Amino acid sequence: MIEDQNDIFDARIKQHDRHRFEIKLDIDLDAAAKSSYEVETYFFVPRALNIGPHNYNKEKFYNSCQRYIRFRTPKISLGKLCDPALSTSPLNRIREDMARVLSGAGDSALTNKICDEFRLLGCIIRGEIRDYVKIFVEGLATYSSAVPAAQRKLFVGEGLDNFLGDLKTLETALSSLKAELSDPAVPVKIRETAAFFDEYMSLILEEYLTSLVEAIRNNPGARGRFDDVERGVLAIVTAQNRYRQAMKYPSVLAPGSSNEELIYRRGVLKKFISSVLYLKAEFSEWEGLTQVFFGLAAGAAMFFAVMVTFFVGRRYAVNSLPFVLAVVISYIFKDRIKDWLKLLFSKSLTRWISDRKIDILDSSGGGERIGLLKEAFTFLSDRDIPPDIARLRRIDNITSVDEEGKPERAFKYKKEIVLYPEIIIKSHERRRDLNDIMRFNIREMVEQADDAAVDYPYVDPDSGDVRVEKCARVYHLNMVLKYTYFNRDGQVTIHYERIRIVLSKDGIVRLEEVRVG
């Protein structure tokens, strides 16, 4: 994963799976009435992959993209979640609202509120466990005798002990809450949501703590030092599958089988829990102004055809061969003129208008519009590439003739997002900052690529025998990203990133960061 941090937002680019990579922006909102930023992504695709306007249009590009805008998971430590004095803890809010339900004050709004708090609690716990385990795994990987023992104990040892203690405290608190949910007065929707939450938490504990156990065991020095911690974590991990089996949850691991249900169920639970953070997007395909210009293109082409017909009609009879030929030829040119003008408008107007406009709606705040997303896609000729982008694309060239050996086709994807923090802050106390996520699928790009491996014959210098070695055949998809942020004082902040995505016929091989300065 490639990360970059600046004062406005954090950008992370990582491989999601074999054919998709992900660009994720963490956006910190200020209290301004309006906040906006732009992301311009320039793709430089090897011409050998045969990608161009003739076979890769806007529709194909947008079909290759998945976009998500969601609230960032609130940060509350595991220990603080169980603190009765913390009013923002979802666990405490569930307890308070459950007391109202059990006293007979329940209604649909209160039921929905409790279900949302369960989902938010699940998101927070998952985020905290994931982040803690990541820190410990990284720390354990460097745990060696070269680091003074006192420092090792402080950095990893005490942290692991505290983490294990917080997990046990949280487990006790959730068990107590589960007892309250068994009351018949609790609505079915709350009980079912709590069951989904419970099953999801079991899977999360099993998944992340297994990684922690593996990290401890992979370091002999750490394993001896943290023997008690390993046993404690191992006890939690091994209990989870048995627990889900006892509760008759579908997500039970059966070694030796396909475990199809386990992976499917995990995906369902994750989407259900995470839905509390996601914002709704209402697509408006093609802006009205774009349609006006496309209409003008069609009108200009029709005007040409009518004028040709009028001109020829004055000289030849309607039923004559010259008239028929002239009308047919004018019809052919009419279609070509319309397509040419549409392409011209698409390329030229991308600077001012977008292909699509998407309203960002608050799914839990009455559907109020909290932002606007605009997108535009176009192919670029060499002279259309801005100088700052061209410079960054060439920054790693070894010689002045490098470009001649790797001809490319460039296209640009521009995304502009306008947010209304004032509205967001008014409706939400804990969910404020946002994640802007785009996943891009490269499957279409490698469709015409050569095989991922090629035989390379050579002569063994020792034996003189002719041998054949398998060599990987890869392509370099280069990307330059330009982030532009406009703050409330009218100041503009610009940041660049350069990424090389190494591809083969089989998909993404790796991601590489190219230093831009």
Taking only the tens place, the pLDDT of each residue in 22-71 is 988 887 766 665 678 888 999 999 999 999 888 888 889 989 988 888 88
> Higher-confidence residue: 107 or 449?
449
Determine the 3-state secondary structure of 416 from DSSP.
strand
Task: Output the pTM of the full model.
Answer: 0.75
Same domain, 301 and 160: no
Compute the CA torsion angle 287, 289, 293, 298 (nearest 10 deg).
60
**For residues 335-356, average pLDDT:** 59
> Higher-confidence residue: 87 or 333?
87
Same domain, 144 and 60: no
Confidence of residue 153 (pLDDT cuts 50, 70, 90): very low
Same domain, 61 and 167: no
Say what the pLDDT of residue 267 is: 93
Same domain, 463 and 335: no
**For residues 254-279, average pLDDT:** 90
Same domain, 103 and 212: yes
Q: At which residue do the structure tokens 């599958």 appear?
A: 241
The total domain count for the chain is 3
User: pLDDT tens for residues 163-186?
Assistant: 888 899 999 999 988 888 888 888
Q: CB 495: neighbour CB atoms within 10 A? A: 17
Same domain, 267 and 323: no
Same domain, 153 and 193: yes
- Is residue 6 domain-resident? yes
State percent of the chain over pLDDT 70.
Answer: 78
- Is residue 435 domain-resident? yes
Same domain, 154 and 210: yes
Same domain, 134 and 171: yes
- Give the domain extent around 319: 288-349
Confidence of residue 479 (pLDDT cuts 50, 70, 90): very high
Q: Measured between alpha carbons, how far is 107 from 94 in angstroms, rounded to an integer?
A: 15
Q: Measured between alpha carbons, how far is 476 from 481 in angstroms, rounded to an integer?
A: 16
Same domain, 195 and 304: no
Six-digit token string for 273 = 């829990």
- Is residue 360 domain-resident? no
- Is residue 479 domain-resident? yes
Q: Measured between alpha carbons, how far is 454 from 474 in angstroms, rounded to an integer?
A: 10
- Is residue 365 domain-resident? no
Residue 270 CB burial class (10 angstroms; 0-12, 13-18, ≥19): middle
- Is residue 355 domain-resident? no
- Is residue 361 domain-resident? no
- Is residue 233 domain-resident? yes
Say what the pLDDT of residue 284 is: 60
Same domain, 42 and 94: no
Same domain, 345 and 444: no
Residue 290 pLDDT > 60: no
Q: Measured between alpha carbons, how far is 185 from 141 in angstroms, rounded to an integer?
A: 50
Determine the 3-state secondary structure of 360 from DSSP.
strand
User: pLDDT tens for residues 394-412?
Assistant: 887 655 545 555 788 999 9
Phi, psi (rounded to 5 degrees) for 30: -95, -175
Q: Measured between alpha carbons, how far is 225 from 220 in angstroms, rounded to an integer?
A: 9
